[in-house]
Structure 1
Amino acid sequence: MLKNTIKQLPIPHKFMLSGIVALLLLMVFIPSDSVEASRHTEVKTLELGKRYQLDLTLSQGSEADALPIDEQQNWHAFTIQKGDNLAKIFNRAGLSAQDTYRVSKAGSLAKKLLSIKPGQSLSILKDSEGQFVALQYAYSQTETLQISHENSGFQSEILTKPIETRLNFAQGEINSSFWNAGKRANMSDNQIMSLAGIFGWDIDFALEIREGDHFNVVYEEQFIDGEFIGYGDIVAAEFTNQGETFTAIRHNDGNYYTPEGRSMRKSFLRAPVNFKYISSSFSKKRFHPVQKRWKAHRGVDYAARTGTPVVAAGDGKVIRATYDKFNGHHVFIQHGEKYVTKYIHFSKRAVKRGQHVKQGQVIGYVGATGLAAGPHLHYEFLVDGVHRNPRTVSLPKAKPIAEKDKAEFSQLAAQRVALLENNKRIMLAMN
């Protein structure tokens, strides 16, 4: 019929129709300049930030199993109010107490409905006769409990949305403080603290940061259904401090290593407390502010507010945790056969004698007990029974990457270093 209609058209109209068809074919098969430009931009984006998806193993259910929430299917969303429980929500939905009971008994997963919180949402699907069909409760950004009524009874499962992880980067130069430089680079508070933690064994961020120091970071951004949900880990980073550049690569074990596989982590932290300033340094001769006489100062005093947490500088065993009139509340830790660390003048102790502690574990809180002129931590570091300056003593390194992981890590490190170099070239081109 369409063919006959075309035949009956005047010749000029036939030419016009042919032209329109030809134009449409050109638009479909020959990309325009704007289309080519957008494709070219996408290639640039892929080079700048590699995108990949995490391999999430689902114990039950999958995204494909989800029943679509469609108003035409009589789905109704209920915002959970203070004091709500499943019975109250089902009552508002026009469902019976018997429905509530059956849903609550739909396997062990249904127990998650006991933990509903105000502000969350619970969706209920009913059929055309108003009978219960299914329930969905999104208890996290990635996981939803679904309970549905089937011929065999009530079934419960967890629907899991995959997280897409993309890589992005940040760079900054310090002209006032490390924190301000991180903020100017649009890094979050947690990212700034994480970056300091990665390089904290090599760089003293309280005393050694200088104007002109700079950093280069590759980090993860996480998305669900194309929507940004938060930041992941820093996967690679460089920090140049006073002309010396340190590079860290995150391995699959969650730890950071140099590109050669040496651990960024040392056996001991340089400073076991977040301090304001050093009120007294390690010295063979110092005038004691309380005893008013000259004597050796065999540790470092870190001035900090009362109550500031103090952490163990390394893994070890608490060999002393007590109080006396000179040291006040204090803790001594033995690290293997060779090393001992001492923490003095606590306001309160957080560990007991004989307890094993991990590096970074809180062992007490800054105070001014014993012979102390003000709140501070007096910290001592002993090697084979001899006091050493905690600020300058050569610290033993942690174990390098496992031999069995070395080849895999070398390949990963090469990719991450290439990303860092690419980021620097991009920033140079933009400036």
Structure 2
Amino acid sequence: MLKKVALLALAVTFTACKKEKEEEKNAETAEREVSKPIEITEFGFNLNDYIVRRDTIKSGDSFGEILAKNNLDYGKVYQIAEAAKDTYDIVRGLRVGKPYTLLFSKDSTQTPQCFIYQPNKVDYVVINFADSIQTYKDKKPVTVVEREASGVITSSLSEAIMNQELDYQVAYELSNIYAWTVDFFRLRRGDRFKIIFEEKYIDDTIYAGIGNIKAAYFEHNKKPFYSFKFQTDSVNKVSDYYDEKANTLRRAFLKAPLEYSRISSRYNPRRFHPVQKRWKAHLGTDYAAPHGTPIKATANGTVTISGYTSGNGNYVKIRHNSTYETQYLHMSKRAARVGQYVKQGEVIGYVGSTGLATGPHVCYRFWKNGKQVDPYKQDLPSAEPIEKELKEGYLTYIRPLKSRLDDIIFEEDQEEFVTSAE
């Protein structure tokens, strides 16, 4: 009996010792795990392995000076810049205000080993010169979130966008989508819009701008305009916007040669000239815009004149076909040459005040059959509709998007609904 008790006591003691040793071992492991630094990964590097310095490009900064100030000789800098040029011209590609990151070795020399430049929130350029020189471009992981919004215009499209706390880029994109069908220089109080669009986020938290506008509804002068983005060429990734009946929103001519701006003077057969101080026909439409604003060709065509006169200043004239011609006056600089074929939307010059002009603007003139006319009173032809073999697939694709657009409630309608319910 005594022998059994002794054996039992010995077993209990052994078990207790074993448990105590296991607990000590687990405690040691936990302590090591706690002391182990959390791995911080960015741009494909474990930043714990480097000394990290971040900054932004300042006025007067250059790639060479940045690296030279961080103990890299100019000969090595030149070698790095030349090797990187085929992938990214880092010498000419730096822009003031853009962030960069330098990775240094953790030894006593603290030698710079890698330069990372971010031209925008998503894209980055890595120039790794720790051993051999390697340059490549990459993107940060981006999460795309779909969002719905609506707005009512009281004074301008940009104000309506800001009132809904939307990215201003939304106004820019909407003006592009409807550039051929809605006159954004004549919007009226009460015009309104609905959109289904994408927002991009880095690491699920950092806003990185808008993505595609998948579908939109714009009501102008009580007339509805639907638009849906649809890919017509999967090989070349070609997409365009079409309405609810598969008709293109494009026209043979853009409504205006500038992005969203304002009309300072319209086509007028009898106008008092602000420079010559006399009554004189104004056979163009003046668009006031900041100096240097890009001027775009309103349709495909061939440049017939690119020159200067004392009245027109720097100007460009384009023949589009046997019927239509357009002219763009008072440019600060011309960007198209005689004989050049330009496409709709291509930049042909920049806003200035050369010639007889009181301020920066472009005078847009429009010819039909050799006679200057008001482009806003012309029934301009549409571009080609969607191809027949794609139409059925398109109509199927937009059906749920149109239902979603129709279900979005405008704020004013929502307020009326709440008031009536009360």
Which TM-score applies when normalising by structure 2?
Answer: 0.65
Structure-1 separation of matches of 2:42 and 2:66 = 30
Distance change (3 Å), C-alpha of 1:197 and 1:303: closer
* Residue type at the aligned position of 2:215: A
2:344 aligned with 1:359, yes or no? yes
* Identity percentage of aligned residues: 23
Give the aligned partner of residue 409 of structure 2. 424
Distance change (3 Å), C-alpha of 1:335 and 1:113: closer
Choose 350-359 or 404-413, whichever is displaced more.
404-413
Contact 1:272–1:311 (Cα < 8 Å) also in 2? yes
Structure-2 separation of matches of 1:404 and 1:78 = 56
1:88-167 alignment to 2 at 5 Å? 88=70, 119-123=99-103, 138-140=116-118, 141=122, 143=124, 145=126, 161-167=140-146
Give the aligned partner of residue 85 of structure 1. 67
Give the aligned partner of residue 36 of structure 1. none
Give the aligned partner of residue 242 of structure 2. 257
User: How far did 1:390 drift?
Assistant: 1.0
Distance change (3 Å), C-alpha of 1:317 and 1:364: farther
User: How far did 1:199 drift?
Assistant: 1.5
Give the aligned partner of residue 336 of structure 1. 321
Contact 1:348–1:367 (Cα < 8 Å) also in 2? no
Give the aligned partner of residue 177 of structure 2. 198
Structure-2 separation of matches of 1:171 and 1:122 = 43
User: How far did 1:381 drift?
Assistant: 2.2
2:260 aligned with 1:281, yes or no? no
Q: Please, what is the CA RMSD of the aligned residues?
A: 4.7
Q: Select the residue among 205, 210, 214 that pairs with 2:188.
A: 210
Structure 1 residue matching 2:376: 3-state secondary structure: coil
Structure-1 separation of matches of 2:124 and 2:214 = 25
2:369 aligned with 1:397, yes or no? no
Give the aligned partner of residue 236 of structure 1. 215
Deviations 1:316-343 (A, max 9, x none): 1111233446655443210022211233
User: How far did 1:278 drift?
Assistant: 4.8
Q: Select the residue among 150, 153, 160 that pairs with 1:171.
A: 150
Contact 2:54–2:99 (Cα < 8 Å) also in 1? yes
User: How far did 1:428 drift?
Assistant: 6.0
Give the aligned partner of residue 369 of structure 2. 384
User: How far did 1:139 drift?
Assistant: 3.7
Distance change (3 Å), C-alpha of 1:314 and 1:223: same
Contact 1:278–1:300 (Cα < 8 Å) also in 2? no
Structure 1 residue matching 2:256: 3-state secondary structure: coil
Structure-2 separation of matches of 1:109 and 1:287 = 55
Structure-2 separation of matches of 1:330 and 1:160 = 41
Distance change (3 Å), C-alpha of 1:280 and 1:177: closer
Structure-1 separation of matches of 2:333 and 2:132 = 54
Give the aligned partner of residue 288 of structure 2. 304
Q: Which runs of 5+ in 2 are unaligned?
A: 1-11, 13-40, 232-237
Q: Which runs of 5+ in 1 are unaligned?
A: 6-62, 92-99
* Residue type at the aligned position of 2:67: N
* Residue type at the aligned position of 2:173: S
Contact 1:142–1:160 (Cα < 8 Å) also in 2? yes
User: How far did 1:246 drift?
Assistant: 0.8
Structure-2 separation of matches of 1:136 and 1:165 = 30
Distance change (3 Å), C-alpha of 1:163 and 1:109: farther
Structure-2 separation of matches of 1:64 and 1:77 = 11
Contact 2:264–2:288 (Cα < 8 Å) also in 1? no
Distance change (3 Å), C-alpha of 1:282 and 1:269: farther
Contact 1:123–1:137 (Cα < 8 Å) also in 2? yes
Contact 2:213–2:229 (Cα < 8 Å) also in 1? yes
User: How far did 1:114 drift?
Assistant: 6.5
Structure-1 separation of matches of 2:68 and 2:89 = 7
Structure-2 separation of matches of 1:356 and 1:373 = 31
Deviations 1:24-43 (A, max 9, x none): xxxxxxxxxxxxxxxxxxxx
Distance change (3 Å), C-alpha of 1:78 and 1:420: same
User: How far did 1:393 drift?
Assistant: 0.1
2:62 aligned with 1:76, yes or no? no
Distance change (3 Å), C-alpha of 1:125 and 1:184: same
Structure-2 separation of matches of 1:306 and 1:88 = 40
Deviations 1:152-207 (A, max 9, x none): x9796967543221111221112233221111011222221221222122222222
User: How far did 1:400 drift?
Assistant: 2.1
Which TM-score applies when normalising by structure 1?
Answer: 0.64
Contact 1:321–1:351 (Cα < 8 Å) also in 2? yes
Structure 2 residue matching 1:192: 3-state secondary structure: helix
Contact 2:271–2:282 (Cα < 8 Å) also in 1? no
Contact 1:298–1:388 (Cα < 8 Å) also in 2? no
Deviations 1:365-392 (A, max 9, x none): 353625x788765433223334432111
Deviations 1:34-90 (A, max 9, x none): xxxxxxxxxxxxxxxxxxxxxxxxxxxxx99956444xxx44323369634289468
Structure-2 separation of matches of 1:282 and 1:393 = 15
Deviations 1:275-316 (A, max 9, x none): 644535344xx36644956x7x47334263684644322121
Distance change (3 Å), C-alpha of 1:396 and 1:112: closer
Distance change (3 Å), C-alpha of 1:135 and 1:219: farther
Deviations 1:7-40 (A, max 9, x none): xxxxxxxxxxxxxxxxxxxxxxxxxxxxxxxxxx
Structure-1 separation of matches of 2:133 and 2:266 = 67
Give the aligned partner of residue 159 of structure 2. 180
Structure-2 separation of matches of 1:327 and 1:85 = 49
Give the aligned partner of residue 16 of structure 2. none
2:204 aligned with 1:226, yes or no? yes
Deviations 1:64-121 (A, max 9, x none): 9956444xxx443233696342894689xxxxxxxx99x979x979987976979522
Distance change (3 Å), C-alpha of 1:136 and 1:249: farther
Give the aligned partner of residue 49 of structure 1. none
Total equivalences in the alignment? 348
